[in-house]
Structure 1
Amino acid sequence: MFHIYTHEFSYAQKELIQFVSNGKISDTDYFLIAIDQLELLKKADPDNLLYTAWQAEYLHLDGNLRRAAEQYRRVLEQDPLQPLTPDEERRIKKFCPELRVNPRECFPLKDIVAVHHPEQPLIGYHLFWEDDFDFPDDGEPCDHEEIWVEYDREEETVTRVMTFFHSRVIHSDAAVEEARNNQQRPIVRVEWGKHGSLLKGWESMTESLTNVTLLEWMKQTYEHVKSGGRVPEHPLKRFWPKGFEGTFDQYLEFPDVVDPLDWLEKKPLMFKTRWANAVICTHGLLYNFHPKMEWPERYWNISRNKEDS
């Protein structure tokens, strides 16, 4: 009889995910369900650190920061930070991206945390802008964006550049070539107010989840922020610009340079771990941030599953 119940529950789980996707179940309610389920999974398989890390992320997303920090600490207790070698520290600085921003950008860069993968020649650069134009009310006094740089250990050259663009990972061969022509430092264009990270050649890219071109995405975002964005009358926005003031062509201008290396030199938040959210929370920042996936592989797994389904 029990196998009937488990079969029926597996069907209910699929329905649950569908209801979350279409908004019939709120994110907050789903977080609570996921947190409880992960607690059971931790008890059943205490050596699987993914369950603890995922639970920490869900607690974090739900705004339960103390409990999230507790779980993040447990992750790092079971899989401690590794010391960076002098070469790894040097490479973090060598491959640090340069940012190109719009001259009308309204939020400064606050912090950068660099995380070297413990096994792969891969570095995650976590950027924290002062805020996101659409989210003054999220309880997160920053906008967390990500850039990943893969490199060749022997030649010490960039082999891949990836960025997190509105929950999608994008990459381009042109960005690699551009980095090699810029002393191995990738160049990333940053969207006004929302800080989507664009790579060279972005104008001809299509994002993989919806097949929308990035150019069309930028046109839609331009119209959105020009008219005030989300919650335009929110009191926390009263000292912000009313919206982007300029044409679409001006929206696509990225002439001003912001160099995250200056931040790393002044405040060297550099670590070696696979648990980026955990180290940012417990060793990096003194303020709340939005947890994001540590490494691009999490996104590639979703993309592969989408193609297989």
Structure 2
Amino acid sequence: MIEIYTHEWKSVSAKLAGAMRDGKVTVQETCATIIPVLDLMRSVFPDDAEIPARQGEYYHLDGQLRRAGQAYRRALELEPLLMLTEREAAAIRRHCPLLLTTEAECFPLKDIAAVHHPAKPLIGYHLFWEDDFDFPDDYEPCDHEEIWVEYDPAEETVTQVMTFFHSSVISSEEAVQEAREHGERPIIRIEWGKHGSLLKGWETIDIPMKNMTMQDWMRQTYEHVKAGGRLPDHPLKRFWPRGYEGSYESYIEFPVPVDPLLYLDRKPLMFKSLHANAVLFTQAIPYNFHPKMEWPDRFARALLD
């Protein structure tokens, strides 16, 4: 009988996953479904740190912050933070991206934390902007964005630059070349108010799983935020701009530099762990934030599904 049950479990899971992708299941319903399954998995696989790390993310997404903290802490008990080597700490500083914003950017950068992968020459830079123009109602007083930089430890050069652009991983060879031309520091252009991280050559990049180019996305988003964005009459927006007031040409110009390295120098939030969300939640960021995908290979696996 167990063979029948496991086959049916896979079939039901696949059907439910399709409904989640189609938006027929809410985030809250997804969390309510998956958290008990992860409870069972924790009892069956008590030494697997990935399970409480994922459970922490679902609690976090569901707004159950104390339980999220408990799960995240358990993940780090099973796989404790590793000590950065001097070379890894130097690489974090050497390859720290330089940000460029529009002149009209309305939310300042609050914090940056860097997490080095424990087994790869790969650094995740986690940016925390003051808020997201479209989400005054998410009870997250920041906008969490991610940039990953892969590097060659021997040559001390950037080999790949990736960003998490509105739930898709974006990369470009032009971004690598641009980093080479700027002392091995990638240059990242920041979307007004929503802080999508744009790479060199973004105009011709196709967004995975969205069937559109970044140019199309930016044009649509420009019209959206120009009209006031999501929830234009929300009370928390009363001190925000009513919308983007400039032309599309100014919307895609990024003349204002913001240097996250200065933030890291003042507050060196630098870590080494596989479980970035757990580290950020328990060790770095004292306010609620949206947990994001920790490493780009999670997105790559989703593309193969």
- Per the normalisation by structure 1, the TM-score is 0.96
Corresponding residue for 1:120? 120
Partner of residue 213, structure 2: 213
Change (3 A) 1:182 1:237: same
Q: Using the alignment, how far apart are the partners of 1:167 and 1:25 within structure 2?
A: 18
| Cross-structure match for 1:265 | 265
Q: In the aligned structure 2, how far is the partner of 1:84 from the partner of 1:14? A: 40
Q: What is the rounded CA distance, in whole Å, between the counterparts of 2:267 and 2:259 in structure 1?
A: 13
Count of matched residue positions in the alignment of Structure 1 and Structure 2: 305
Rounded to whole Å, the distance in 2 between the matches of 1:216 and 1:253 is 16
* RMSD of aligned Cα (Å): 1.1
Corresponding residue for residue 185 of structure 2? 185
Q: Which residue of 2 aligns with 1:176?
A: 176
- What letter corresponds to residue 87 of structure 2 in structure 1? D
Following the alignment from structure 2 to structure 1, what is the Cα–Cα distance between the partners of residues 154 and 8?
Answer: 53
The aligned runs of 1:142-291 (5 Å cut-off) are: 142-291=142-291
Distance of 2:151 and 2:168 partners within structure 1: 21
1:53-91 Cα offsets, whole Å, 9 max, x none, are: 111100000000000001101111111111111111111
State yes or no: 1:106 paired with 2:106.
Answer: yes
Matches within 5 A, 1:298-309: 298-305=298-305
Go from structure 1 to structure 2 and tell me whether the alpha carbon gap of 1:3 and 1:304 turns closer, same or farther (over 3 Å shift). closer
Equivalent residue, structure 2, for 1:78: 78
**1:11-55 deviations in whole A, cap 9, x for unaligned?**
222222222223332210110110001111111122222211111
Greater displacement, 143-152 / 45-54: 45-54
Residue of structure 1 in register with 2:46 after alignment: 46
Amino acid at match of 1:46: P
Give CA deviations for 1:197-227 in whole Å, capped at 9, x if unaligned: 0000011110121231100010010011010
Kindly tell me: are residues 85 and 6 of structure 1, through their superposed partners in 2, closer, same or farther at Cα, counting changes over 3 Å? Answer: closer
Pairwise CA distance, 1:233 = 0.4
Matches of 1:2 and 1:93, distance apart in 2: 53
Match of 1:61 in 2: 61
For structure 2, the residue ranges without an aligned partner over 5 or more in a row are none
Distance across 1 between alignment mates of 2:22 and 2:180: 43
Q: Distance in 1 between matches of 2:231 and 2:70?
A: 33
Q: TM-score, normalised by structure 2?
A: 0.98
Map of 1:294 onto structure 2 = 294
Q: CA deviation at 1:6?
A: 3.6
